A and B are shown apart, each in its own frame.
Chain A
């Protein structure tokens, strides 16, 4: 097992910059999730770590060892591919044992290790089958077992759950998390599904257009987004945004007046659906556009401040479409962003406020 460090890693495809100088340190034993929309560079980052892509410039270290130019077969990483990449002409046992066969592990010992790995993912009854005779979930487990069968330095998973149905995905998610916790291996997991990222990760690296947008624990990313992209990407439903202007510490947009706002000039106010409380004299005044009951809650789509926002309300709440709605959001849950560059406008830290006062 080893830590993984990327130092100013860049990757260009011709004139297209797939990765713009990436710096990232992944400590030994961490479950790190690379999250972002398609084309953000997360898979490229993973493939660089695996050695399947060469870097244009920069360095990659496993522990203290520079592996930038080491062939993938000598990196001792295990990888689970999105489509599993099982060898169709080999049985489950041969698939799982393949890494041992090519590295010429003693046959008796290899058989034991294959059994052991198969046991970990509950596949012992299927060892003589071919991949085509397995279900999606079983194939997934074969791919996991093939990665588990040796003792890799780093475990890479490239959207491993995206080909499974919703129910199986939830079950496998828990299995993968449990597995990582038990074996304590460094795991790097690529996904575009923010729920997967939130539930699995020790830390999330949120990427967009070849650059890291934010690195943090799921809570940090959710509660304290660094910019508009992060705020809008994480959370379901996504964060609501209202654009307006801050004058003398008060944010104003049509129907919205929020005092105690930082900065001045144009600003985008963000708040989450679940932080809303309905209040007749609230700081936000809008009209109900649509009502979406989900069973556990009722979401209101509200037109407010020239935009549409989602509010989470009581499951029994059923307002008439077009009726006025007023609500409040606690000051601490109102986040402000600069609409020009998307960056957070933070409130001054309290003790600094005192100094400047």
Chain B
């Protein structure tokens, strides 16, 4: 095949895959700005600017329930990302630098936590959250802290795996030089490891943040009113009297927005962070 021909095939595939990922988002946007009457008319991929409306957004944003769900999601995702990064970094540093027996086994064992389908943990977790992890009247069920801790458990293996590769890429001589220079372990972490692993930590933070932000299964089961997140809040637009498609699409667009913004801004670092250590600088 000619060089030009293979270039066209690459281009065609690229367009195809882009459409596959972008069309649903475009469709959702169309639904969110359509008037109720237009929703069930003749479907079109084109935006009819004359009949566009932002009412769905206005209604959703001023809805107190939506505001609460959004806030819950923000708190849970951010706290989860911060906690996971801090714990993951410490674990990865210890694993990377200290000699210990059965190190490879520990690493593998941590990763196996991600191998089972999450749904398998659903029922035991529900029972634990409602019955076991409780003090008097208070239980972990339907609390933000409960979700934060749960997402930590789910995200830590991933963060640990990602960060260990990053710390392994930082030469151990730098730590040794710092120790000989008089630094404590904490100072080594703060002044040498964290600055050098910065991009990697940022990537870990963003990815775990997005995981938590998008999580639906556990959030829908382990929360009811107080700690409900935005992803599960979406389901509330399906009611016995019908589904409010326009508002639901508006909420979905608003849910998408923070993650898309964050990813767009730091996309370059994500690639750098994920390949960190693969090639020694």
User: How long is the Cα–Cα vector from A189 to B265 in the complex, in angstroms?
Assistant: 49
A273 at the interface (CB under 8 A from B): no
Partner of A81, one of B173, B182, B187: B173
Whole-angstrom CA separation of A99 from B177 in the bound complex: 10
Minimum CB–CB distance from B114 to chain A (whole Å) comes to 32
A327 in the interface (beta carbon within 8 A): no
Are the CB atoms of B183 and A102 closer together than 8 Å?
yes
Query: Total A-B pairs in contact (CB under 8 Å)?
Result: 63
Contact residues of B between 159 and 176, Cβ < 8 Å to A = 171, 173-174, 176
**Shortest CB distance A27–B (Å):** 22
- Chain B residues with CB under 8 Å of chain A are 171, 173-174, 176-184, 187, 191-192, 195-196, 281
Which chain A residue shows the least CB distance to B176? A52
Contact A85 B173 (CB under 8 A): yes
Q: Provide the bound-state CA to CA distance between A76 and B183, in Å.
A: 11
A72 touches B (CB below 8 Å): yes
CA of A99 to CA of B178, assembled, Å: 8
- How many Å lie between the Cα of A52 and that of B183 in the bound state? 13
Q: How far is the CA of A150 from the CA of B180 in the complex (A)?
A: 12
**Is B181's CB under 8 angstroms from A83's CB?**
no
With A85-B171, A87-B192 known as contacts, the answer to whether A99 contacts B181 (CB < 8 A) is yes
Interface-central residue, B173, B181, B183, B281, by most chain A CB under 10 Å: B181
User: Is the beta-carbon distance between A103 and B182 smaller than 8 angstroms?
Assistant: yes
A102 touches B173 (CB 8 A): no
Residues 74-87 of chain A, each 1 if its beta carbon lies under 8 Å from chain B, else 0? 11111101010101
Chain A, range 74-127, C-beta contacts under 8 Å to B? 74-79, 81, 83, 85, 87-89, 98-99, 101-103
Assembly CA distance A99 to B182 (angstroms): 6
Sort chain A's interface into a size bin. Answer: 20 to 34
Contact A87 B180 (CB under 8 A): no
Chain B residues, Cβ within 8 Å of A50: 176, 180
| Ranked 6 nearest A-B pairs via Cβ | A85-B177, A99-B181, A85-B173, A102-B183, A72-B179, A103-B182
Contact of B179 among A71, A78, A83, A150 (CB under 8 A): A71
Q: Is A146 an interface residue (CB 8 A)?
A: yes
Are A81's CB and B196's CB within 8 A? no
- A101 and B192 CA atoms in complex are apart in Å by 13
Q: Residue on A with the closest CB to B187?
A: A102
The reply to whether A146 and B181 contact each other, CB–CB distance below 8 Å, is yes
Q: Output the nearest chain A residue to B173 by Cβ-Cβ distance.
A: A85
Q: Is A181 an interface residue (CB 8 A)?
A: no
Q: Which of A51, A74, A88 contacts B196 (CB 8 A)?
A: A88
Residues of B within 8 A of A79 (CB): 176-177, 180
